[in-house]
Amino acid sequence: MVDESLKRRQVTAYNKLFRLFAVDIQYAVYHESDNKQSDDSGFGDIGDAGSNDNYDDWQSTRDLLTPTGSSASSSLGNQLQMLSGATAESFDYEWISKIDVPLKTKVKYKDKTLKVKKKSDYDDIVGLFLYQLSDRSDDNVQVQR
């Protein structure tokens, strides 16, 4: 359990960051499809790339969005993962928000459309969610060895 006074100080610090560095973005929440078609069940999400059938309408918010491609923390994290035998993941942006959205949610910032690939829940500590976003769709790429 987190000490309440520490939690208040953390929330105050994050609120200051939001006021200083937040940017306008839009997001469209993803919903799993209820009607599964039997003819393409073995092909993952091929054909879903341009489909907006499973997304809500775009909503606006003002949150923290930072690029992560060459940051020291993401590079160090990838190096530690590789040393431990795990595969390294790379993400283009991190989105810090008070909004709870599922994976695959789309995010628009300026001329980019990104997709939530990973989610970290810190709601019980500071009331925030950390999302890893990418504008690449590597989900269906097969590597030949």
Closest alpha carbon to 139 in 11, 19, 44: 44
- In this predicted structure, the answer to whether residue 141 has a pLDDT above a threshold of 80 is no
- Identify the residue with better confidence: 140 or 119: 119
Average pLDDT over residues 61-82: 66
Structure tokens at 84: 């431990």
Residue 27 is which amino acid?
Answer: Y
pLDDT of amino acid 39: 44
Structure tokens at 46: 């091929």
Q: What is the tens place of the pLDDT at every residue in 3-45?
A: 888 888 988 988 898 899 999 999 999 998 765 554 444 444 4
pLDDT of amino acid 84: 55
Helical (H) or strand (E) element with 81: helix 72-83
